[in-house]
Amino acid sequence: MFGCSAEAEVEIPEHIRNLDNLKVYSEDTEPDSSIELIHEVTLEVPDSISRNWYGNYIPHSLWLTGIEITESGKIFVGDSRAYGIHVFDIDGSYLRSLGRKGYGPGEYGGIGNMQIVTDSLVVFDYVRSKIVKYSLESLEFTEVAGVGADPVNLDEFEELSGWFSSYRMLRHDGTLLVGFMEHPTDARKGAPTYNLNQDRPIKHYFMNQEKKIISDKIFELKDREDLVTDVDGKHLFNLAPFPFLDRPLIAISDDDYTYTNWTENFLIKAYDPNGNYLHAFYYPFQNKPLVRDEVTSLFNKDDGWNWDLVQHADLPETWPVINSMRADDRNRLWISTNIDKDGVYEWWVLQSDGELIARFQWPDNLIVETVKNGYAYALETHEETQLQQVKRYRIEMN
């Protein structure tokens, strides 16, 4: 029997119950606190600055690459469509933008995530495979590092022979968490390397800014699920993650603890800053039934590819349990879940060991992106126009 109380036994999938240091919570667990999020500031970019902040069903946004906040309250918003980072003061007033598209110092081919590391804002350019640094004090470009795609010591890892780095995430100590895959997604039906609807493992390692792998394998995750069908001789598939398909989630806390999830279950695994597995926790959860009409409503009829795909493909019977996962500056987890109620997510705020702190329901057009200094920064999508805004909410917890 697994659990935190003497209640009835919980049925747990075999691949979960065999985990070391697993803590299973009751589905009837109640939070210790209540929580309220109070809107204070909306971050606005001046009309003179090109902005294209619009939502998307894949899964919520394609422009926002991250939000970082200094201890003094200065706010950085990564904007992949503007190839830059927008800077705001603590009161939400706009200060300036950093970066632009290009090949030179402080210029980008594509903006990935960013982190504050000591006295610098560190930004990862996933197209040029380089790291760009700015001074937090002067906001001036200071350094570029790690230009190039392949780790310099890749041949020292036999298990990665022929593999490639598929994505990288900056950590707060300046190193990167790197995922390696054997093959890219190959949708060429009949090709020897066709791999849709197959398990595509992603092996994760730490790498420093000199492009050297500095760890053994930390963990392995599966790549996102695929939706596949054939319509009028065309082989259709999802070009990006869909919110109703299971996918891997990774959250990294400010002190570089890492948390992973496969969205099918409310199972979270925790790793220390050195990549050592610590524990896992699990909550039984009733998956929300998936209805084709609800899924179809996420797409525009003018988008013939995706419209035909969701109309004809075999869909899952249920939604994923977890929609998003964030780690805050107090090593707590903010997790949004899909519940059987239209227009809302149910958010869970958890201690790092899984203990439930608070739970609240929020409109599903509001997604918490970052929690720091007692504030939650959320991305709000206007339901009709799909225009998005970044809003700051003061957190009150009782």
Identify the band that residue 58 occupies on the pLDDT scale cut at 50, 70 and 90.
low
Q: Note the pLDDT tens digit of each residue in 355-365.
A: 999 999 999 99
Q: What is the DSSP letter of 224?
A: P
Task: Give the pLDDT of residue 300.
Answer: 80
Instruction: Please state, rounded to an integer, the average pLDDT across all residues of the chain.
Output: 91
Contact status, residue 260 vs residue 325, Cβ threshold 8 Å: no
Alpha-carbon gap, residue 291 to 302, rounded angstroms: 21
Amino acid at 270: A
Identify the band that residue 61 occupies on the pLDDT scale cut at 50, 70 and 90.
low
Q: Which has the closest alpha carbon to 61: 81, 45, 37?
A: 81
Q: Note the pLDDT tens digit of each residue in 205-229.
A: 999 989 999 999 999 999 999 999 9
Angle at 59 between CA 53 and CA 63, to 5 degrees: 25
Q: Give the torsion sign (CA, 221, 227, 229, 232).
A: negative
